[in-house]
A and B are shown apart, each in its own frame.
Chain A
């Protein structure tokens, strides 16, 4: 019995190779490898990377958050409004992240306390959020001319090529990869998503874990929304409507099982890159914007199909029986 884990090609490893190959391909065939190409890729991928980590953690526990996009809208609006009111970064950043945390936490609370599936709660919340923007926020939440106090971080670069936002995303990813591997909490997420009953037997309180993970997701959604908002001179909450699709597909492409209980943060991060590379490739190939809707749908289907193929392996015997009933 060896004490050292043997290396083998995992799903994440495979995805990393695909992503690398894709980057190579784009570099050779387009001007992707130019300074501006690399910069804009890193800038675009950062928010999705961070949010995909949050969504993955939710999905590990067997839940989902359809309102992740619309929560981002509130985060951006809060930041924008506070900047207009003259708040410094030290205030508006934590405040905006707090808004995200609380809104997602509310989803978690309702899911757990009333035993309503998170899909329905967050779907309804999505609607409430969108209605709220237009009904209660002045000018539907549109704030312009925010000025450099708002945008300096989003537009700052290290060595003139690496956006600060990407550095934030990398640090967040590193922290959460570490947490999932080296903390009790990380293992508990898989336990709750894998087998709730056993989790209870292992002394885990699933309700508490699920509420916690929604709060953490909210925190990450907060960061993600800022990484996107801070690059622009204006905020518009409705800009974030539908973003959850990118987050979810990044997680699913990364091998996070929609059934809960398995998947890796590394996968979600690579998944986010993959989703963007595809988008970039589409743009280079000259497809219109709206092709991306259709493509995104297809990517999700293929990604999940691969996961389910694995999953059915796990439940081989049971599924065999049901498959026979043609």
Chain B
């Protein structure tokens, strides 16, 4: 690793109307290093990356690339100057082929004929050769003509990386590249990162998962509330220190599990089948228990949850609640029986972001708080809303506040509170802490523990193995739509769970 910085960011400022997103942020990236940038949600990481990539323009400060002034107007300038980004959200075009995707916006071209040099057309043979070479370098075999929507999440992530590599950029920015990946895929990705590093690429690596920082990064820069806190060699720091810098205070524990006396079986599923998705699944759930569901992405965990609570139809299978056979023809009937589900994706499925806290909180309560003509009884609605805001400690000025303007953690709390207002006995939480920062994560875990200690039963779907180990009384591992195994709390280990999932 070279000590000389290749990219220097100095005193960057950026405000949006009403908020200062970045205040005097500085950072230097050295040749051939993997430099982690971490901080809680809203700390300004993504804004900083978008400034480096030309999506936003900074209000102040300057950037120097290879000793030259680096001021750019749009993403194309960034690519031209040798900086490529792999975005957090998928930036692929689902209906186009792999080849079209990785060269989108910067297709290789050649003159239409040697005589007419002015008119250029896309040079597919060259693009194919180039793409093949890149995928070969990444150790991947892929059909360049495959339509992207037909590919898996991990493959898409590799395509994003390949897309960034087509720019031949010495600097790569990876924004939460592992968010949607499973442990095995993460390992492959890390292999690629190490390889790129030895080839001399410098990388900025943004992640919520602290373990990853210790695994692949050389140095780490911490941001908090838009301010620069510290840059440190990863070797000279540890997990607790990082968390303290990020949160600004000491966290007691990330997994505040409360020991609960686990009761009798309250819910049982027998022989659940859904063609091509779920294959003969049996499981049971006890009162006060937190049951984890682990497995790779695409193993059918979310699908199982959706089927159990009536959001999708089962081909066959039986559900028993308190030893009585039940069936949920639709989601509302599951809710009536005290079974509820909280989606992994609060922006798409969890909340209507553009509407008020109140409307969101009482969305599942509608039948209860309205009269026979479907008109809402406002007093009752207000009671429920105020109660739930207090209980969950949602930080909002009032109940008519638009959810979109709340912070991510508070939005997630609204999404959980929305399920709790109907007082479910069985609650299925799907990746409740994905994309949530450390502080909010710890708080959500405390809420989950409290719910279980109140005698509710929880099903916790999670790809975060430390979370499963820290929170669950029992874990049920899924693989390819089947149940691959079951582990009790005493016997749990990451290797064991992973072994079953793979």
Contacts and interface: CB of A to CB of B under 8 A. Distances in A.
A pairs with B:
yes
Interface of A: 1, 3, 5-6, 181-184, 187-188, 190-191, 194-195, 197-205, 257, 261-262, 314, 317-318, 320-321, 323-326
Nearest to A324: B312
B329 A326 contact: yes
Contacts of A320: 306, 312
B95 A184 contact: no
Given A184-B122, A203-B79, A324-B331, 8 more contacts: A1-B143, A184-B107, A191-B96, A320-B312, A324-B306, A324-B330, A325-B311, A326-B330
B107 A187 contact: yes
Interface in B108-150: 109, 121-122, 125, 128-129, 132, 135, 141-145, 149
A186 to B, nearest CB: 8
Contacts of A184: 105, 107, 109, 122
Interface in B276-325: 303, 306, 310-313
Contact of A187 (B55, B100, B128, B306): B100
Among all A-B residue pairs, the 6 with the closest Cβ atoms: A203-B76, A324-B312, A202-B105, A262-B95, A198-B91, A194-B93
B104 to A, nearest CB: 5
B144 A1 contact: yes
Contacts of A194: 93-96
B347 interface: no
Contacts of A204: 104-105
A176 to B, nearest CB: 14
A323 B307 CA distance: 12
Nearest to A4: B128
Interface in B206-240: none
A257 B147 CA distance: 15
22 contacts: A6-B145, A187-B122, A190-B100, A191-B104, A191-B105, A194-B94, A195-B93, A197-B89, A198-B91, A200-B75, A201-B87, A202-B75, A202-B105, A203-B105, A204-B105, A261-B93, A262-B96, A321-B306, A321-B311, A324-B310, A324-B330, A325-B330
A257 B95 contact: yes
A57 B13 CA distance: 41
A257 B122 CA distance: 24
Contacts of B100: 187, 190
B429 to A, nearest CB: 17
Contacts of B89: 197
B121 A201 contact: no
B176 to A, nearest CB: 14
B366 interface: no
B122 A202 contact: no
B106 interface: yes
Contacts of A183: 121-122
B46 interface: no
A183 B121 CA distance: 5
A202 to B, nearest CB: 4
A198 B144 contact: no
Contacts of B95: 190, 194, 257, 261-262, 314
A314 B92 CA distance: 14
Contacts of A187: 96, 100, 104-105, 107, 122
A190 B93 contact: yes
Nearest to B349: A321
Kindly name the residue among A6, A197, A199, A203 whose own CB sees the greatest number of chain B CB atoms within 10 A.
A203
Nearest to B125: A3
B155 interface: no
A323 B95 CA distance: 22
A183 B90 CA distance: 24
B397 to A, nearest CB: 29
Interface residues of B, number: 45
B74 interface: yes
Nearest to A320: B312
Interface of B: 55, 74-76, 79, 85, 87, 89-96, 100, 104-107, 109, 121-122, 125, 128-129, 132, 135, 141-145, 149, 303, 306, 310-313, 329-331, 348-349
Nearest to A5: B145
A187 B103 CA distance: 10
Contacts of B141: 1
A258 to B, nearest CB: 13
Contacts of B142: 1
A1 B348 CA distance: 37
Contacts of A181: 122
Nearest to A184: B107
B91 A201 contact: yes
Nearest to B314: A324
Nearest to A194: B93
Contacts of A182: 121-122
Contacts of A190: 93, 95-96, 100
Given A3-B129, A325-B311, A195 B91 contact: yes
Kindly name the residue among A181, A202, A314 whose own CB sees the greatest number of chain B CB atoms within 10 A.
A202
Nearest to A322: B311
Contacts of A323: 312
Nearest to B143: A1
A194 B330 CA distance: 32
Contacts of B85: 201
Nearest to B78: A203
Contacts of A202: 75, 91, 104-106
A112 to B, nearest CB: 17
A257 to B, nearest CB: 7
Contact of A203 (B96, B106, B348): B106
B91 A197 contact: yes
A321 B96 contact: no
Contacts of A314: 94-95, 149
A54 B489 CA distance: 63
B311 A188 contact: no
Contacts of A200: 55, 75
Contacts of B109: 184
B120 to A, nearest CB: 8
Contacts of A5: 145
A23 to B, nearest CB: 30
B156 to A, nearest CB: 12
B79 A1 contact: no
B181 to A, nearest CB: 17
A181 B112 CA distance: 13
A198 B75 contact: no
Kindly name the residue among B106, B109, B122, B132 whose own CB sees the greatest number of chain A CB atoms within 10 A.
B122
